Structure 1
Amino acid sequence: MRGLYFEEFEVGAEYRHAFRRTITEMDNVMFTSLTMNLAPLHLDEEYAKTTIHGGRVLNSLFTVALIGAFHVPELTMGTTLGNLGYEKIEFPHPVFHGDTLRGETTILDKRASKSRTDSGIVWFEHRGYNQDDVLVMRCTRVGLMSTMPGGESDS
């Protein structure tokens, strides 16, 4: 299985990714601990009960990483040269232990690289939804994508 080459991306194309993942307490505690984020909102249930959320919420960077990975098998596996940046990240709804997340991606734009002949730049919007189809994360990401090997391009 491979992802798409730069030439294969179509602006406006939308993808609903097949993978889903139920978030566990262990996911949150391990990620939060590994990244040394000591915020009690993620680790201290008694403290978190006193907040507007009523309990611990998932570390938002885990949400970005997870939703950002759902697209890899069908869009960028073996064809990406790396991330160039994230232009915007939003968390309109918190994620809790036990939520099941899924992802969608829209291709926002693309252009040939100005400095490299073997790649192009693609703008992605990744969205994450919980089991109730509530939007929990949206981000705009810019990626450097390989062009087709051997001049197979029709573009």
Structure 2
Amino acid sequence: MLDNAPRGTICIEDIEIGMVRSLSKVITDRDIELFAEVSTDRNPVHLDEDYAQDTIFGGRIAHGMLTAGLVSAVIGEQLPGHGTVYLGQSLKFLAPVRPGDLVTAEVEVTEIDHSRRRVTMNTRCIVNNKKVLTGDATVLAPSRKFD
């Protein structure tokens, strides 16, 4: 995993609209196998190349939620980071992610409600300069006032 920003916490008092954080990761066969094991989603389009060849994808693809999990990693580790509570996430899957793809997950702050400690972010995952996932997340950000 290639981190593009340090891990830790950015408290609500320091978050600004337009802040962006990201991470990049190559999706491996092992990632897909482990996600299938943990999630119990053993759809053969993810695990069986022969089966997947005969689908609209023409080969194996990663679980969409595995890709979405990279967004969660950025939110939980970088922006806002440790102590963040996920409140909601919308997702649109725009293109498949395949084993070996380098996925960059990005989050960008679009709204801040300081009184409720709520932060809304645009979320996206990109492979080869193409968006493969988009959405919006709402989180409860940590605050120095509650440490």
Distance across 1 between alignment mates of 2:72 and 2:142 = 19
Aligned pairs for 1:16-95 (under 5 A) are 16-17=21-22, 19-80=23-84, 82-86=85-89, 88-95=90-97
Report deviation, 1:72. Answer: 3.9
Count of residue pairs brought into register by the alignment: 140
Distance across 2 between alignment mates of 1:104 and 1:30 = 23
- Conserved in 2, the CA contact under 8 Å of 1:68 and 1:126? no
* Secondary structure at the counterpart of residue 146 of structure 1: coil
Distance across 2 between alignment mates of 1:67 and 1:85 = 12
1:136 alignment partner in structure 2: 132
Unaligned runs of 5+ in 1: 115-119, 151-155
Unaligned runs of 5+ in 2: 1-6
Q: Which moved more, 1:36-45 or 1:51-60?
A: 36-45
Report deviation, 1:75. Answer: 1.7
Aligned pairs for 1:2-17 (under 5 A) are 2-11=8-17, 13-17=18-22
TM-score of the two chains, using structure 1 as the length reference: 0.81
Q: Summarize deviations over 1:39-79 as a string: whole Å, max 9, x none.
A: 11111211110011110110111110123213444322334
Distance across 2 between alignment mates of 1:73 and 1:42 = 27
- Conserved in 1, the CA contact under 8 Å of 2:111 and 2:121? yes
Larger Rg: 1
* Secondary structure at the counterpart of residue 38 of structure 1: coil
1:121 to 113, 118, 123: 118
Please give the root-mean-square deviation of Cα atoms over the aligned residues, in Å. Answer: 1.9
- Conserved in 2, the CA contact under 8 Å of 1:5 and 1:79? no
Please list every run of at least 4 consecutive aligned residues from structure 1 whose deviation after the TM superposition is greater than 4 angstroms.
Answer: none
**Percentage identity across aligned positions?**
26
1:104 paired to 2:106: yes
